[in-house]
Amino acid sequence: MIIVLDTTELFADLRLAGPDFHLLAAYLEKHEARLIVPQIVAEETANHFKKALQDRLRSANDSIRSLSRLIHDLPKVNLTIEPDKEQERYTVFLKNRLNELRAEITAYSSVSLSAIVERALARKKPFDSDGKIGFRDAIIWETVLHVLAAGSENLILVTRNKKDFGEHGSLTSDLQNDLESRGIPVDRVTICEGLTRFSEEHIKPGLETLDQIRQQIQDGSYGEFDPEDFFADMDFFDDLRKFVRNMNLEAQTYGSHSHYRCQTLEKVGSSPNSIDVVDVWSINAEISVAIDYKVNGVIRCEREELIGPYGEPDYRDYLGDIEFTIKMSVILDKESGNDKSWEISEIEGKLFGEWTYPGYDE
């Protein structure tokens, strides 16, 4: 098998140190698989690191200035990190980390410029209908074609870019036509929607499950790791706030005579309602743990009320209750139980109280 990583996967974990990369490293050690990272992906990731650093540096200095307006004798602090130098250091780090994963970085020499131009003029995916947007994705696809032509292995392109490459488990028609025109069986290439999904479908099924350790973690008696203490040490507010901002409240309040908009997260409970250690997998000297936390929160939004003889809309602030499910993936040291890395796999939200929707029995 050949695994090709798109920029979406490196952007999501710039240190390549989260649970999915731990699982990928273990998989590559035990299986005859090649990991390929196109050169454009590595370079885009380094550029993204610099931009992310600049954004966070600006935000940190803004926060310091805001504090100084509240506390008159606050020591003057100004973070003076040089983004260009940090980007150079990160580029070296990224190269070393990819070497640890035994990744092959495919150079631009494998890509034909004439093929890119021909694709753009024909408005073929990954280019858009104007033949303008899609240059970098076209380089990735041409790299895939080059790798396929050099061997007979099946290839999985791990990407969350469904619009240009295709839905999970399939390819867009333009890309299928590319393969057929080159005599490459279409079923040799599969799109996998992200590294987390790759782990769920290709890595975890082959790992040893550890039911006894799962129960110990659930009870809080596994080494240094206690799931309740772990939750207390984490700050999930920004992740939950982003989730609330993107929620479709209309879908959850179907049948209500009111409409809701401009939702924001007011507060989150300090402790979870429940903790469910879903599963535990063995990966060499580490274990991967899937944990679901349920915790309550409060949403503030504008609620539309119809008033007056003609049903004129009137918007009023409204506070509503929500229960979040935070699905976590945590890597622990098997011997000590110390947590080594973690990431949020998914967040779900369910409204309750005055807000109701079909199928929910208050």
Q: What is the pLDDT of residues 191-213, one digit of tens each?
A: 999 999 999 999 988 888 888 89
Query: Same domain for 35 and 112?
Result: yes
Q: What is the pLDDT of residue 356?
A: 47
Q: 131 and 14 in one domain?
A: yes
Mean model confidence pLDDT for the chain: 85
pLDDT band per the 50, 70, 90 thresholds, residue 310: low
Say whether both 156 and 222 belong to one domain.
Answer: no
pTM of structure: 0.76
Once rounded to an integer, what is the mean pLDDT over residues 44-48?
Answer: 93
Give yes or no for a cis peptide into 126 (omega within 30° of 0).
Answer: yes
Which range scores top for mean pLDDT: 56-65, 75-84, 110-119, 225-234?
225-234
Q: Residues 317-333: pLDDT tens digits?
A: 778 889 999 999 999 99
Confidence of residue 121 (pLDDT cuts 50, 70, 90): low
pLDDT value for 138: 84
Residue 38 — very low, low, confident or very high, per pLDDT cuts 50/70/90?
Answer: very high
Q: Is 360 a domain residue?
A: no
Calpha distance 212→133 (Å, rounded): 51
Residue 330 pLDDT:
93
**Final residue of a structural domain among 204, 227, 255:** 204
| Judgement on whether residues 80 and 180 belong to the same structural domain of the protein | yes
> Is 309 a member of any domain?
yes
> Which tops the pLDDT comparison, 138 or 259?
138
Looking only at the bridges linking them, the beta strands covering 274-283 and 189-192 are: unpaired
Together in a domain, 171 and 218: no
Domain-located, residue 359 = no
3-state secondary structure of 361: coil
How many structural domains is the chain composed of?
A: 2
Nearest 5°: CA angle at 272, between 268 and 274?
Answer: 140
Q: Which of 203, 260, 223 is nearest to 27 (CA)?
A: 203
* 342 and 223 in a common domain: yes
Dihedral sign from CA coordinates of 38, 39, 42, 47: negative
Query: Are 124 and 248 found together in one domain?
Result: no
**40 and 150 share a domain?**
yes
| pLDDT class of 123 with cuts at 50, 70, 90 | low
Average pLDDT over residues 102-130: 73
In a domain, 361, yes or no: no
**Domain final residue, candidates 204, 220, 248:** 204
Instruction: Give which of 160, 32, 41, 43 is closest to 102, Cα–Cα.
Output: 32
Contact yes or no for 42/35 (Cβ under 8 A): no
Mark whether 226 and 183 lie in a shared domain: no
Residues 115 and 235 placed together within one structural domain of the fold: no
Tell whether 179 and 230 lie within a shared domain.
no
The residue range of the domain holding 15 is: 2-204
For residue 4, name the pLDDT band (cuts at 50, 70, 90). very high
* 216 is a domain residue: yes
Distances in whole angstroms, Cα of residue 53 to Cα of each of 19, 139, 143: 22, 26, 29
Decide which of 204, 225, 260 is a domain's last residue.
Answer: 204
Write phi, then psi, for 305 (nearest 5 degrees): -110, 140
State the pLDDT confidence band at 164, using cuts at 50, 70 and 90.
confident
In this prediction, residue 357 has a pLDDT band, given cuts at 50, 70 and 90, of very low
Co-location of 195 and 233 in the same domain: no
